[in-house]
Amino acid sequence: MVYRVIGLMSGSSLDGLDIAFVELHEQSGNWSYEIKATACYAYSPEWVEKLKKATMLNALDYQLLHTAYGHYTGQLVNSFIEENGLEYKVQLIASHGHTTFHVPGQQMTAQLGDGAAIAATTGINVVSDLRAMDLALGGHGAPIVPIGEKLLLKDYPLFLNIGGIANVSCNLTADYIAFDVCPANRVLNMLANKAGKNYDDGGQLAATGTLQPELLNTLNALEYYQLTGPKSLANDFGTDVVFPLVTGFRFGKKESWIQDSLRTYIEHIALQIKKALSPVVNNQGQEASAGSRKLLVTGGGAHNTFLIGRLTELLAEDGIEVVVPDKQLADFKEAIVMALIGVLRWREENNVLASVTGSRRNSIGGAVWIGQEA
């Protein structure tokens, strides 16, 4: 079977809407993919502010934003289809939406982007609300990307995605292991904003900073990092806990506090990733093959050369090889996986792994909206 699908992903770093048009091939339970077209539509300053402040809205205004963002998403998809000559070629749209509230302890998660609005705007069938079923079954609803890693990227046993939040996946045991590690690009970008930049390109500012051991120790001592998986993070851990902690630190040289904070936070990310991966690979023993220690790094953070350099140095101590793929896979892996998750939902097959989320069982997640006319 061949499925021609658009996957949509909006990450917590607020850089824009990632769109990937993918051909997914299934034969006797084996899956492969071919990327046909990709794009990232940057959010306007107005939309960035709307998404940032979504959690502060009253119930009615939040629902109005949910609907408006769905229509906006649909309009961007229509533009993508027109720009790439994809009229009448797309069979399905799978939309992750933009996460706002995430409270797994009370079995609730919320992603902006009404699936019905996307379907109505595009005239294409849509799968949305991908995490809700797993939460209802007692899981964290995150990470959900591992199903795509398992089915589409079998050459790699270890995965790291560095987006607004960094998360890892490990396919070295009978049960697939994955969890959120720490806030990443969302905090780094907020710090870069203080220097008048959208982000720290390549980690250039961080590279000129001085590591602050006291701040680093304070960050590493936060309660979340003492928990074992399955576990997941809401965006507000980075924005409301970590960012104020960093900006409230008393730096010795006030004129270089942004560089120093970026340098220290890069080290924090790298150390937490090492802490997450070291026990997994070292439990495999020295006889484990070199191939079993390849780490595929994707997400916007894959282009932060300073961060990748620190990761490479630290993970080499555990024999882990850091691999940054081509730009298309690095930037659009999550959108590609959303496409697969949507197809699995359409086929009524499991698309969320309980071993990753802590749910009672594997599940078929997603709401279906029929955009095509009967």
Asked, for residue 374, whether it belongs to a domain, the answer is no
Residues 202 and 187 placed together within one structural domain of the fold: yes
Instruction: For residue 181, give the nearest of 97, 52, 297, 316 by alpha carbon.
Output: 297
Question: Helix, strand or coil for residue 270?
Answer: helix
**Structure token pair of residue 126:** 């849509």
Residues 304 and 346 placed together within one structural domain of the fold: no
Residues 112 and 20 placed together within one structural domain of the fold: yes
**Structure token pair of residue 193:** 């904003």
pLDDT digit string, tens, across residues 124-175: 999 999 999 999 999 999 889 999 999 999 989 999 999 999 999 998 777 7
What confidence score (pLDDT) does residue 285 get?
Answer: 52
Residues 242 and 365 placed together within one structural domain of the fold: no
Residues 307 and 232 placed together within one structural domain of the fold: yes
In single-letter form, the type of residue at position 269 comes to I
Asked, for residue 241, whether it belongs to a domain, the answer is yes
Residues 116 and 158 placed together within one structural domain of the fold: no
Q: How far apart are CA 146 and CA 107, in angstroms?
A: 20
Question: Under a CB-based contact definition with an 8 Å cutoff, are residues 187 and 265 in contact?
Answer: yes
Residues 73 and 101 placed together within one structural domain of the fold: yes
User: For position 16, which CATH number holds?
Assistant: 3.30.420.40
Q: What is the DSSP letter of 43?
A: P
Asked, for residue 138, whether it belongs to a domain, the answer is yes
**Residue 237: alpha-carbon gap to chain centroid:** 15
Q: How far apart are CA 206 and CA 200, in angstroms?
A: 8
Residues 190 and 57 placed together within one structural domain of the fold: no
* Residue that the structure tokens 């990632």 belong to: 18
Asked, for residue 344, whether it belongs to a domain, the answer is yes
Question: Under a CB-based contact definition with an 8 Å cutoff, are residues 6 and 80 in contact?
Answer: yes
Length of the chain: 374
**Residue 89: alpha-carbon gap to chain centroid:** 27
pLDDT digit string, tens, across residues 81-115: 999 999 999 999 999 999 999 999 999 999 999 99
Radius of gyration of the chain (CA): 20
Query: What is the domain range of residue 351?
Result: 2-148+333-369
Q: How far apart are CA 296 and CA 298, in angstroms?
A: 7
Q: What is the DSSP letter of 95?
A: E
Asked, for residue 247, whether it belongs to a domain, the answer is yes
Asked, for residue 188, whether it belongs to a domain, the answer is yes
Residues 207 and 300 placed together within one structural domain of the fold: yes
Instruction: For residue 188, give the nearest of 256, 252, 264 by alpha carbon.
Output: 264
CA pseudo-torsion sign 261, 266, 267, 273: positive
- Each of the 374 residues of the chain gets a pLDDT tens digit; together they read 999 999 999 987 788 999 999 999 999 999 999 999 999 999 999 999 999 999 999 999 999 999 999 999 999 999 999 999 999 999 999 999 999 999 999 999 999 999 999 999 999 999 999 999 999 999 999 889 999 999 999 989 999 999 999 999 998 777 788 899 999 999 999 999 999 999 999 999 999 999 999 999 999 999 999 998 889 998 899 999 999 999 999 887 788 999 999 999 999 999 999 999 998 888 765 445 556 789 999 999 999 999 999 999 999 999 999 999 999 999 999 999 999 999 999 999 999 999 999 999 999 999 999 999 97
Question: Helix, strand or coil for residue 249?
Answer: coil
* pTM of the predicted protein model: 0.89
Question: Under a CB-based contact definition with an 8 Å cutoff, are residues 5 and 94 in contact?
Answer: yes
Residues 219 and 353 placed together within one structural domain of the fold: no
Asked, for residue 102, whether it belongs to a domain, the answer is yes
What confidence score (pLDDT) does residue 15 get?
Answer: 87
Asked, for residue 318, whether it belongs to a domain, the answer is yes
Q: Where are the beta strands (DSSP E) in the chain?
A: 2-10, 16-27, 30-42, 92-103, 108-112, 126-128, 158-162, 165-170, 177-183, 294-298, 321-323, 367-369
Residues 313 and 357 placed together within one structural domain of the fold: no
Q: Residues 6 or more apart from 336 whose CB is under 8 A from it?
A: 7, 20, 22, 33, 35, 148, 152, 329
**Structure token pair of residue 162:** 């560095």
Looking at the structure of the chain, the number of domains it has is 2
Residues 126 and 208 placed together within one structural domain of the fold: no
In single-letter form, the type of residue at position 201 comes to D
**Residue 176: alpha-carbon gap to chain centroid:** 17
Q: Residues 6 or more apart from 320 whose CB is under 8 A from it?
A: 158, 277, 281, 293, 294, 295
